[in-house]
Each structure stands twice: as C-alpha cells, then as structure tokens.
Chain A
C-alpha cells in the first residue's frame, strides 16, 4: 500500500529507516556482546591455567611430592568443578580432572567448549577445557535489544517524520485550499513568495500565472459576449419597429409575413439574452430577484409551442428569481422534448413542489439516453446524433437551462429513467419570505 499524503510518506520513510536501523544496530550490538563474552571466557580460562601452573610449580618446589602428586594438587585447587584438565609429561598422563569430553577423532573439541594448552618446564603439558556458562540466550538478547532500540526510535521517527512531512506539505495544502476557494480566477491573490519553500513558491508562481491568464480570458469572453448581445439590440430594435410599423399599414399575406418577422426578432432577442446569461458567472447569482409563478411560466411556454405537451401543474408554484431567465430555461427544456419526441408520442411536463424545492420534470418519450449521453447533453454546443441529423437548434439549450437554474441556486439534472424515456428535471428553491 502506498501512503498517499506527503506527511504519511515521510512518516513511512522515517519509520522504515528506524526499523531497519534498529534491526541492524540490535544485531551488531548482540554480535559485539558475543565477541566480548567469548574473549572474557578465554581470559578466565587463561587465569585458571595460570593458577594451575603456579600451584604445580609451588608444589614441586616446596614439597617432596612427585610430579604426579603436584599435578593432581594443582588441578584440584585451581580448576572449577566442571572444568576438565589434564597434565601430561611426554605422552604420559600425570593427572586428570573432570569428566568433560576429550577431543574427538578429528582432534577437535565439541561445540561450545574452549580450551587452553600450555607447555611447562620439563616437557610437561597442561590442557584445560571448559564449557562456558550459558548466559542469556543470544536470540532473546537480540529481540530485547531490538525492542529497546525499535520502540524509542520508532516514536522519534514518527514524531519527526510527521512534523517534517507536515511542514513539507503545508505550503501545498495551503495552496490547494486557496485554489479550492477560488470562485473567480480574477480574485485570486497569490501568497507572498518569501518564506515559501522553493518548490511551493514555484507552484504558487505557476498557478498565479495560469489563473491570471484564465482570468483575462474570462474577462475578454464576458465583455465580448456582453457587447455582442448589447450591440445586437440596436439593429433588432430597428427591425422590430420597422416591421411593426409596416404591419400596421399592411394586410393579408404581407401582414402575416411582417408579423412573422416580429416573432423572429423576438426569438433572436432571446438568443442574444441567452448568450448574455451564459457570459455571466453561475456563482454571481441574480441578486434578490422577484417573485415568479413558475406555473404561469410553464403554462405560457407550453401554450406558445407548436407541438402540444401534456402538462400537469398546480395553479401556483412560486420561486424567487428573474422571470425572463426562468422562461428561457423552461422554454429550452420544453423545446428539447418537442424536438426529440417521435411524432406519435406526446412529451409530458409535470410541475410540483417537493419539500423546499419546486421541480419541473420534462419527459421525452421514445428517447433513450445512456448515462454518458445524459452527462454530455449538458455540454455547450453538444448535439446528440439525432439533433445533428435534423440540424435544428444551437446545442445551447440544456447547458443554458442548467446555467439559469444554478444562477438561481438550483440545478437541471438528468435522472436515471426507464429505456424509451428521457427525463430532465429543473429544480429551483421554492419561494420563501424575507424580513421587511
């Protein structure tokens, strides 16, 4: 498993370091201890041999005993009960002590035994062997050492690693938090770079530059769309005034054509409005807005279309917002249903209050949308396969409706529906009174 945060990675790394080094140091100290012990045992044995040699010399000098007696005496006095000692003089056994093992056929002592051999005067040889006392078993010692080394070093590693990791991650976390709070790239204020670690400063610089470019692109885009929508209105006003004026004096077919021009101008005006709305940031909202009866808006939009829609709605469904924008959203949802439903099937719209929301559900029978298509449908200028064939519409409808809904604190979603039915829901916060 890979630790995912900076802090956790650093902690993992320092913990691993601590574990490996505890292991190595525990092993090394046990090995050193072993060496020291062995050395200690050998010295001890040497001292025993020294004592035996001294006693043997004394006995021979001061007493009338022969070599055999002296040797026996020396072994008895100097050796420990479990040691094995042998005095030899030219392959002749003078004295023997203890019942330990002798050399095997290969001339070696059994495992664990140590031996010292010394030549004395007159060809006498003294051999002493011993099995050193078993100390604490080395394996246990090793575990103990490991434990003693590992616990404090792990704790230290944990603390240091965590601090170091956090310190390293902090500027990045801070940057992430601040970037997360950016609603409008133009409002991003970069951190002062001094005091920041180099890596974080580099990140900060890059983001500031990207956001800066993004901000000016947004500015350009918004002002372009605003100007375009605004500039469109002057000629639209002229055309509408001319058509209206001409229609007043005309009759028959001519008048119908002029009225159609007026209708087209109004449609074009709404498209200009749509562009203006899309140029506005979702988060900017619509201010206080006014009270709008969404039921009236939906009824009017249903009545205005050429294709009938089966409608269920209460008399009133009040929301707060911008009526023109809401009409735009509703019209786009209904127009989509009209456009895509096969001729034999009637689209349906249902408006109802649901808790603190007002929900307009628009159903297009005869259309099945995959989860992917439902998501794609909200992208600007995306047009489904069918729409491309019939070449109607501008591909702004759903993204526009969603944008309007979000500006109002709501949303447009495409819930999962049965095959052969496409459903889009416009959800808006229901009207609530405010203090005067």
Chain B
C-alpha cells in the first residue's frame, strides 16, 4: 500500500460536525483533510491521496450515496465510512449496497467513530470490488442482504453474531485475536464488550453445530478464535 495508511478525508456539510470529527481523528495521529462537498472529496480520492473516506450521506448537490457508488464504479477500493441521519435497516442496506464499508448513524459517539476508523484502516483498501459474498468452511454470508447460510439453511444471526462470523469467515480459518475482534465488531475493547463476546461466541457455536454440520468455532486459549471447516 503506497503512502502512510492514515490519510483520511472527512466529507460533511455541517462545518461544526466536520471540525469536531477532523480534530478527533487528528488527535489519533491521522492526517485529516476536510471537504464540504462531494466534488472536492472525489478529486482527492482520484488523486490517490486518501486511505479512508468519512462520508456524510446528506450532502448538498451530489449525495454521499451517489459519490460512494461513483467511486466504486470507477474501481476505487478506498474504505468508506458512511455517516447518516437515517438509521433504519433499509437505509443501512442502501448505504452498504452503494459500496460503503461501514455505517454510523447520527448523532454518534466520537469514541465509536474513532474505533470504526481504526478498524477500517487496519483492514486496508480492498483488493477487488466490494465483496458481496463471503464463504468459508461451509458458511456463506450474503453481505448485501445481511443473510448467513450454513449449507442451504439460513442461520438466524443477529447483527453482532453476523459481524463476528463475517470477521472469522474473512480470516478464512486463521486465528483472529480477541482484541482485534472486539475492535472490529464492538468498536471498543471494554470489559462489557469482552463479556458480550463470550455470549455471542457461545450462541454462534450453538447455531453452527445445530444442523450437525462440520463448521466449528475454535477457541484458541488466550489468543482468539478461528472458524474451522471439514478440512481444518
């Protein structure tokens, strides 16, 4: 990846919100630029000067959704975190379908925004077009429709369970450390999040083995978790 992986552009039309977000991210050691309109952000992305876009949906002129879809059409793989005033499932799906990598409803907590930005930067730019389907060890996750399948059966997974499983499927059988899971899925590494992780893992494990399948959530003591298939 060329350049330092910490160049963020914040695209938001409300100056106050924009400045708060920019300042918070700067304090995290990131190189932050601000834009009030989609057009200026597009130039920066096309010039390859950005590692992450924090993008407001409700921009005047070209909307955030339009910009996101346009960047993806042009083949840009830069991670995009969408900020939106609409938080229902339908608009989240809409955001993800336009090619956003993550989604945050307004008003948001700065701490959560920072955690998500960190998680996206760690994951880095995608190597191909946005993934629609993840598959590993007999588990298939349709990211657009937010559906997970074990074989032909749909798995009843809540958002957290799906995010956790998606993270493990993406790792493809490699062990993912607990603190990475907490950061990526919960956004914070707190005692509450750690307790929640235990609960989610046990529910996920039960759901994966209910059909008698071979997929198995392996606990690597003291390190993290991995998803094993028949071959693993």
Residues of chain A whose beta carbon lies under 8 Å from any beta carbon of chain B: 229-230, 233-234, 236-242, 244-245, 262, 265-266, 269, 273, 286-293, 296, 315-316, 318, 321-325, 431, 433-436
For the complex, is B107 an interface residue (Cβ under 8 Å from A)? Answer: yes
For the complex, is B85 an interface residue (Cβ under 8 Å from A)? Answer: yes
Contact call B90/A436, Cβ cutoff below 8 A: no
Chain A residues within an 8 Å CB radius of B89: 286-290, 321-323
Out of A236, A322, A325, A436, name the residue touching B106 (CB < 8 Å). Answer: A236
Out of B21, B87, B110, name the residue touching A273 (CB < 8 Å). Answer: B87
Out of B106, B146, B155, name the residue touching A290 (CB < 8 Å). Answer: B146
Q: When each residue 135-153 of chain B gets 1 if its CB lies under 8 Å from chain A and 0 otherwise, what string results?
A: 0000010100111010011
Contact call A241/B93, Cβ cutoff below 8 A: no
Chain A residues within an 8 Å CB radius of B156: 291, 318, 431, 433
Q: In the bound complex, how far is the Cα of B88 from the Cα of A325, in angstroms?
A: 8
B136 vs chain A, min Cβ distance (A): 16
A436-B58 contact given A265-B107, A323-B159, CB 8 Å threshold: no
Q: In the bound complex, how far is the Cα of B89 from the Cα of A325, in angstroms?
A: 9
What are 19 A-B contacts defined by CB distance under 8 Å? Answer: A233-B106, A234-B14, A234-B17, A237-B17, A237-B106, A238-B14, A238-B16, A241-B21, A245-B110, A288-B146, A290-B162, A292-B158, A293-B158, A323-B159, A325-B88, A433-B156, A435-B154, A436-B147, A436-B152
Please indicate which of the listed interface residues A236, A238, A239 has the most CB atoms of chain B within 10 Å of its own CB: A238
Contact call B90/A287, Cβ cutoff below 8 A: yes
Contact call B158/A433, Cβ cutoff below 8 A: no
Q: In the bound complex, how far is the Cα of B110 from the Cα of A265, in angstroms?
A: 14
Out of B16, B86, B87, B162, name the residue touching A291 (CB < 8 Å). Answer: B162
Q: In the bound complex, how far is the Cα of B58 from the Cα of A322, in angstroms?
A: 22
A245-B86 contact given A237-B106, A237-B107, CB 8 Å threshold: no
For the complex, is B203 an interface residue (Cβ under 8 Å from A)? Answer: yes
Closest to A292 in B: B158
Chain A residues within an 8 Å CB radius of B107: 233, 236-237, 239-241, 265-266, 269
Q: When each residue 153-174 of chain B gets 1 if its CB lies under 8 Å from chain A and 0 otherwise, what string results?
A: 1111111011000000000000
Contact call B159/A230, Cβ cutoff below 8 A: no
Closest to B142 in A: A436
Q: In the bound complex, how far is the Cα of B92 from the Cα of A325, in angstroms?
A: 14
Chain A residues within an 8 Å CB radius of B85: 229-230, 233-234
Chain A residues within an 8 Å CB radius of B157: 291
B115 vs chain A, min Cβ distance (A): 14
Chain B residues within an 8 Å CB radius of A322: 88-89
5 closest A-B pairs by CB: A433-B154, A237-B107, A233-B85, A240-B107, A241-B20
Chain A residues within an 8 Å CB radius of B155: 433
